[in-house]
Structures are given as structure tokens and as C-alpha cells.
């Protein structure tokens, strides 16, 4: 009888633990200026790497547990982080208010290439972007190299085989953060969000990196400055993920 009671208690504790992990919390996102609901606000659980968006009434639901951090981002508003507390779970729904930002758009001047009609002359006028991709034997995918010289390959190899290198410090010492790359790629809501963003904010929040870290990762993997400057956040996610997979393969064979 005692064994049965003990087994029942263990099963109950386990069930409660899983139930806590599977809680779905609710809330409303409002404009802090006038309390109007904000539609299509992007919300990412940084711990579970799950995303969602608010509906036309500013309402959202997302899987979370106590102490998870939710990241709220919306065009024209200041991004915020909100920690899930016991009070949130107790009262069932909270209101999250976001502050609007003043956006000053800089004037962009487009200067078309003036062609003369002479091939030899025009060939020198048209911009040339040295965005090459190189392939390492044994890897299924190639990577973009920002330099034309064959030395671009040795740059990646040197970065991987040098224990003091930046890639080792980022990839080798942050395995938990790097595992979130796959989770982000597998979540449709996060992928949709990243397609429309160019500020790297969500990537930095989930991976716990600074913008300079993101740029340096891509530089170390020989992605071109043109790509780094123009790619959207989903392309950057795929690039970092590809770079990390190459790092794991080559680092596994090191020595």
C-alpha cells in the first residue's frame, strides 16, 4: 500500500511538472499613449523559442511558464521584455503596454548608373559585387565568401581550428544558445516575423548576442559585407545556422 501511495505521489508530481511546462497564458497588448489595442504585435518566448502574434483586439496566447521571458516587438514601437510571474498565472490575463517611437527617415538618393553605350567603358561603370560562395569537401552546402581570393576558405578553416578565435568563443562556449537556431528555424511564426525585419533585434534577444557579435560571426564565415548589410533577419538566421553546422562538422574532425 505504501509503495502504491509513493508511486501515485511521484506520478502526480511529474504530471504537475509537465502541466506547468504546458501552460498557455493570455494577455492584451495596448498602445501606452491611448490604450488602443495593437494588432500583429510579434511575441517570442525566449526560453521556449515559440512565437505568436496579437489579433485585431490586441489579444494573444502563448505557451509559457513562470520565469519565462516574453519578447514583444512591433514596428514603430520600443521592443520590451516581460517576465512571466505567478501573478500572471493566478489572474489569467495581463495588459502589456508598448511605447511608440518617433521615426525619422533619412532621405535616400538613388544614383542610376549612367551608361555610354560602349561596352569597354560601361563594363567599368557597372558596380561589381564579389559575393562568391565556396564549398568545402564533405559538406552538403556551400557558403558565401566576401573575397575573390582562395584565401577566403582558409579564413573559415583558421577560425574553426584556432581555439582562441571568435567562432570558438561564440559557438563552442554557447551550446544552449546555438541549439535555439534550429528551434527558431522550425517555428513558422518566428520565421514569418524574421522575413520582415532587418534590425537583428529578435535574433539578438533569442541568441543572447550583440549586433557586433552577429556581424563578426558572418565575417568569420566569409559572408560578404553586401549580404550582411542587405539581408533580412531570416536570411541572417539561415546564414548563422549554416555557419554553425559547418563549425560543428569541422570541429568534430579537428585533431
Residues ≥6 apart with Cβ < 8 Å to 153: 134, 136, 145, 222
Considering the entire predicted model, what is its pTM? 0.66
Q: Which CATH superfamily is domain 22-98 in?
A: Carboxypeptidase-like, regulatory domain (2.60.40.1120)
The set of cell numbers assigned to 213 is 557579435
Query: What are the helix (H) ranges across the chain?
Result: 2-21, 86-91, 119-125, 151-161, 166-167, 175-186, 188-195, 201-207, 211-220, 225-230, 233-252
The grid coordinates of residue 231 equal: 539581408
Across the beta sheet with 24-31, the strand order is 59-63, 24-31, 93-98
**Structural domain boundaries in the chain:** 22-98, 129-252
Tens-level pLDDT at each residue, the chain (255 residues): 555 555 555 555 454 544 455 688 999 999 998 999 999 999 999 999 999 999 999 999 999 999 999 999 998 899 999 999 888 877 777 899 999 987 544 455 555 555 555 555 555 555 554 454 444 434 444 445 444 444 444 555 555 555 446 777 788 777 888 889 889 999 999 999 999 899 999 999 998 888 888 988 888 888 888 888 899 999 999 999 988 888 887 777 655
Amino acid at each position: 500500500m505504501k509503495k502504491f501511495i509513493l508511486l501515485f505521489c511521484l506520478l502526480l508530481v511529474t504530471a504537475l511538472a509537465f502541466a506547468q511546462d504546458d501552460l498557455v497564458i493570455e494577455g492584451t497588448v495596448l498602445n501606452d499613449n491611448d490604450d488602443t489595442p495593437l494588432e500583429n504585435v510579434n511575441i517570442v518566448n525566449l526560453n521556449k523559442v515559440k512565437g505568436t502574434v496579437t489579433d485585431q483586439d490586441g489579444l494573444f496566447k502563448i505557451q509559457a511558464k513562470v520565469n519565462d521571458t516574453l519578447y514583444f516587438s512591433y514596428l514603430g514601437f520600443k521592443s520590451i521584455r516581460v517576465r512571466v510571474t505567478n501573478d500572471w498565472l493566478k489572474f489569467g490575463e495581463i495588459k502589456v503596454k508598448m511605447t511608440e517611437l518617433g521615426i525619422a527617415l533619412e532621405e535616400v538618393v538613388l544614383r542610376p548608373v549612367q551608361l555610354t553605350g560602349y561596352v569597354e567603358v560601361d563594363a567599368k561603370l557597372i558596380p561589381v559585387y564579389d559575393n562568391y560562395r565556396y564549398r568545402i569537401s564533405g559538406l552538403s552546402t556551400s557558403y558565401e565568401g566576401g573575397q575573390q581570393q582562395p584565401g577566403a576558405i582558409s579564413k573559415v578553416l583558421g577560425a574553426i581550428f584556432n581555439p582562441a578565435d571568435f567562432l570558438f568563443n561564440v559557438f563552442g562556449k554557447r551550446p544552449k544558445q546555438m541549439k535555439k537556431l534550429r528551434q527558431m528555424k522550425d517555428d513558422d511564426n518566428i520565421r514569418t516575423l524574421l522575413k520582415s525585419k532587418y534590425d537583428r533585434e529578435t535574433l539578438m534577444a533569442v541568441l543572447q548576442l550583440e549586433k557586433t557579435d552577429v556581424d563578426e560571426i558572418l565575417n568569420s564565415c566569409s559572408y560578404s559585407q553586401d549580404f550582411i548589410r542587405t539581408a533580412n533577419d531570416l536570411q541572417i538566421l539561415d546564414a548563422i545556422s549554416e555557419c554553425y553546422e559547418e563549425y560543428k562538422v569541422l570541429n568534430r574532425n579537428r585533431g
